[in-house]
Amino acid sequence: MTMFDKLTQERRARLTAERQLDHRTRELDAALAQLDTVRRELHRMRQQGHTAAIAEAQRSAEVQSRAREDTETAQRSAVMAERRLWDSVNTIRDGFAVFNRNHELVIANQAYLGVFSGYPEVQPGIPYRRLVEILAYDGRAQLDGVAADAWIAAMLARWDSDRIDPMILTFSRGDTARIYDRRARGGDIVSLVRDITESQRHAAELEDARRRAEAANRAKSAFLANMSHEIRTPMNGVVGMAELLCDTALSDEQHLYAETIRSSGEALLNIINDVLDFSKIEADKLTLHPEPFDLERCIHEVLILLQAGARNRSIDLLMDYDLFLPTRFLADPGRMRQVMTNLIGNAVKFTEKGHVLIRVVGIEASDGQQQLNVTVEDTGIGIAPENIDTIFGEFAQVEDQANRKFEGTGLGLAITRRLIELMGGQIWVESELGKGTCFGFSLTLPLAEDAPQVPAAPIRLHHVLVADDHLINRTILQRQLEAQGLAVTLCASGVEAFEAIDRPGANFDLLITDHEMPGLDGLDLTARLRTAGHRLPVILLSSSPAVLRDHPAIGELRAILQKPLLRHDLVRQLQRLSNPDGADETAMPAAGPRAPRATGGRRMRILTAEDNRTNRLVFSKMVEGLAIDLSFAEDGQQAIEAFRQTKPDLIFMDISMPEMDGRAATRAIRQMPGGAQLPIIALTAHAMAGDQEDILAAGLDHVLTKPLKKPLLLDMIRRYQPDGVCAVDAVLDQTG
Ligand code: ADP
């Protein structure tokens, strides 16, 4: 090998080596570049990773601090709330404590702990028993005379009961508390001790004020009762004399004066009665005195009394008493009459024309009791809707021009409502202004056991003609007659009735006709029938039989019946007509105003005991014209003597008389032969509750209150007219 070759070889080898170096360098550069990238990447990554961790750490630090703040806030407000609650519980004057199921104190406020001051042991954990012992043994509570041990036992037993009743405890330091203990969940007991010292003091003051007011009220009632008596007695003379004066021959002017004295006197008496009753109701002094009485008759009597006023204004007073309803009940007759007088009186007062209709219906409520519904319906001025609600209030008069011309105290309905409520009933009113008003009440009353057994005398009539221009009256009569098994034909006028009877083939057994009818009235109808040769018996219905004396047809009547009609009177007349001999098969002494009458016989003997000369005069004038023998006694002793000598059929007995009063005289007469059954009727000016009961307890049969009312007086006389004496009533004598 040549040097060249060697050189060439070497150069080649160098070139190869250089190439290899170059290659290696490039490889190294590439690797370095890659390393740099990785490093940069690593750096970047490292940088990134660090920020996230810091952010994460920051976030969690924030959350933690917020949570800490929240917790602190919550804790602060919880502490505040608890403090506030507890401060409040501590500031109230009422004691508050909680005990656990073992009856150990858990917590209590200052007011609760206050009573145990000086006892450091009184702290949470102390047993209830120990607290009670401190109260009892240390005299911190008033035990009202109970021994300490017994009191403690009772207090502990109280907590053992299922429901712990509230109790009142007075502490020796002077305050009084009502203690309420309640079982809470888990057997805890929460105790609330309410301070009632103030309210008790207030109640005591009220009680004291009430006692004083009651005493004043009693004094007022007594004063009113005395005044009432003092005023009534002379008023009796005024009203009675004025009434008699009205019946004498007077000029129109004189009659007006006398009538004004009479009506003013009556109005004054009504006011006295209202005020007296109202004050009694106010003072809760009004008591009821139930006794057997006849409801139908009671309403009838009220109607008779109010009839005069109604007649002046051509109002018809009608009564529709349920046919199948008994009439005798147990109730306070005086109060019942007062209710009816007020309602019917108002109806008459506020009605110019039309009618006032009293309806009584009833259903059997339970054994021996009837539920009654009584309505008084009128066709008067009515009451505006805005006044309806206040109408039963005191002094509630509808203040308008249409109304104020009527006198009254505005107490009547308030009294009526209270009376009905006292009897356990309810009262209501419906009204339409300008059309009319209907007052109604419902009551449950026991039936009177003394209800007389009415012997069922046969009625042998078949067909009755009724003539009355008033539709409601015709309907009532029709129902009453049909209930007796009679065929009834109704006519609305006298002319119509005449034609019906005069028609060939007419076969009526009886005509019942109203007196006052337009055109042909009842008496003219009777006269025309007789002239035409019809002998059909006629019964006349009249609201004022006494004024019929002079009509020539009077003698043709079989009977005159007082309107509104008592069913009982009607049935009796039908029975009498059915008996051809005219003898009454159902004769009963107390059978009603139109008792059977004989033409001959002695007169009824009436004894009246009355110390006051004016009252004797009033009495004798009121019965003037009756076919009776009247004698007077001036005190109780004289009455007994007169009873022995004259053997009267009926005695009217004044109650307050000097020497021996009416009660004592009655008791004595009841012991004497023939005295036990004798009807004795009290005359009294007393109006206080209890008077009536006293009087009846002394053995009198009825009470008539002064001033006497002629119709009621006559009703009593007729009612007790015995069989076999000549008729007391002059008018009826002519018609019999
Ligand atoms: P007063 O003594 O005034 O009649 P009441 O208490 O009996 O007192 O009646 C109160 C008022 O109710 C009457 O003044 C009248 O305005 C009204 N009132 C009562 N009944 C009727 C009636 N039937 N029709 C119209 N208004 C009546």
- Which atom of ligand 1 is closest in space to residue 396's alpha carbon? 10
Q: Evaluate if residue 401 carries a pLDDT over 70.
A: no
What does the pLDDT look like over 4-22, one tens digit per residue? Answer: 676 677 767 777 877 888 8
Closest ligand 1 atom to Cα of 409: 2
Q: Which atom of ligand 1 is nearest to the CA of 378?
A: 23
Instruction: Please calculate the CA angle 509-515-520 and round it to the nearest 5 degrees.
Output: 90
Number of helices (H), then strands (E), belonging to the chain: the values are 21, 22
Phi, psi of 293 (to 5 degrees): -155, 165
How far, in Å, is the centroid of ligand 1 from the Cα of 328? 29
Q: Whose CA is nearest to atom 21 of ligand 1?
A: 346
| Cα(350) to centroid(ligand 1), Å | 8
Q: What DSSP string describes 183-245?
A: E-GGG-EEEEEEE-HHHHHHHHHHHHHHHHHHHHHHHHHHHHHHHHHHHHHHHHHHHHHHHHH
Backbone angles phi, psi at 106, to 5 degrees: -95, -45
pTM over 0.75: no
pLDDT for res 565: 82
Query: Residue 456: what pLDDT?
Result: 60
Tell how far CA 671 is from the center of its chain: 42
Cα-based angle 408, 334, 387 (whole degrees, multiple of 5): 35
Q: Which ligand 1 atom sits nearest the alpha carbon of residue 413?
A: 6
Q: What is the pLDDT of residues 605-648, one digit of tens each?
A: 999 999 888 888 889 888 888 889 999 999 999 999 999 998 99
Better pLDDT: 501 or 710: 501
Residue 732 predicted with pLDDT over 50: no
Atom of ligand 1 nearest to the CA of 439: 23
Non-local (6+) Cβ contacts of 534 within 8 A are 501, 502
Mean pLDDT, all residues of the chain: 84
β pairing state of 369-378 and 436-446: antiparallel
Q: What is the pLDDT of residue 271?
A: 78
Residue in 315, 350, 411, 427 to alter for ligand 1 test, most ligand atoms within 8 A of Cβ:
350
> Higher pLDDT residue, 456 or 522?
522
Q: How many whole angstroms from 348 Cα to the centroid of ligand 1?
A: 10
Q: How far is the CA of 413 from the centre of ligand 1 (A)?
A: 7
Mutate to test the pocket of ligand 1, among 340, 397, 432 (most ligand atoms within 8 A of CB): 397
pLDDT tens for 438-447 read 999 999 999 8
For residue 452, the CA-to-ligand 1 centroid distance in Å is 37
78 sits in which H/E element: helix 3-91
| Residue found by looking up tokens 């009534």 in the block | 232
CA 355 centroid distance within chain? 27
Residues with C-beta less than 6 Å from any ligand 1 atom = 342, 346-347, 350, 378, 380-383, 391, 396-398, 403, 408-414, 437
371 compared with 6, residue with greater pLDDT: 371
By alpha-carbon position, which residue is closest to atom 23 of ligand 1? 347
Task: State the number of CA atoms in the 13 A half-sphere of 75 facing the CB.
Answer: 6
| CB-based contact 132:148 (threshold 8 Å) | no
In angstroms, rounded to a whole number, what is the distance separating the alpha carbons of residues 334 and 344? Answer: 15
> How far apart are the CA of 420 and the centre of ligand 1, in A?
17
- What is the signed CA dihedral for 707, 710, 713, 714, rounded to 10 degrees? 180
383 alpha carbon to ligand 1 midpoint, in Å? 9
Atom of ligand 1 at shortest range from CA of 342: 7
Task: Pick the residue whose CA is nearest to atom 14 on ligand 1.
Answer: 397
- Residue 486 predicted with pLDDT over 50: yes
The whole-angstrom distance between residue 156's C-alpha and the CA centroid of its chain comes to 47
More confident residue, 671 or 732: 671
- For residue 359, the cross-strand partners are 320, 375
Q: Pairing between strand 189-195 and 176-183?
A: antiparallel
Contact 356, 564 (CB under 8 A): no
